[in-house]
Amino acid sequence: MSANLTLILTASFLCGTGVYLILERSLTRVLVGLLMLGNGVHLLFMVASGPAGDPPIIGSTPTEDMSDPLPQAMVLTAIVIALGTTAFLLAMAHRSWQLNGHDDVQDDDEDAAIRLLAQADEASDSHDLFQGQTADDPGDEDTFEEEGSTP
């Protein structure tokens, strides 16, 4: 099977640009990146479908000259799905802008907390609590002794 070099080069350029943009923090740029990546993948499907040919309508052209209709149908489906997802992601970027005044992807609270604790060389809060003491404060060990006692 001979592949179309132009299609492959365009697809790889689109995918590369897309991946670069996805690494950005702003959701709008991520969205543009996802779109470019998606388009690159759709082009890749055209490569997979083999050489271009005549419309696949029985009776109009000999079967050998027809192009393969199946990958085209799949790409159409994928494009429709990409359209829906894009609309949703745009709505989310808009909502994020409404709420925060920007659309940057934010750090996770709990992750940030754990990272801070790790930097401060602490174990997790819950660990400290279960031990009834803090890592910095080995003194009061009797906090959890009264577990069974009722107030």
Q: Provide the binding-site residues for other proteins, judged by CB under 8 A.
A: 1, 22, 27, 30, 34, 37-38, 41-42, 44-45, 47-50, 70-71, 74, 77-78, 81, 84-85, 88-89, 92, 95-96, 99-102, 104-106, 108-114, 116-117, 119-120, 122, 124-130, 132-137, 140, 143-144, 146-147, 150-151
39-66 in b/e form (b: 16+ CB < 10 A) is bbbbbbebbebeeeeeeeeeeeeeeeee
Kindly state the tokens that stand for 132. Answer: 């009834």
- Paired with 61 in beta bridges are 58
Min dist CB 10 to other proteins, Å, is 14
Min dist CB 65 to other proteins, Å, is 18
Phi and psi at residue 137, to the nearest 5°:
-135, 70
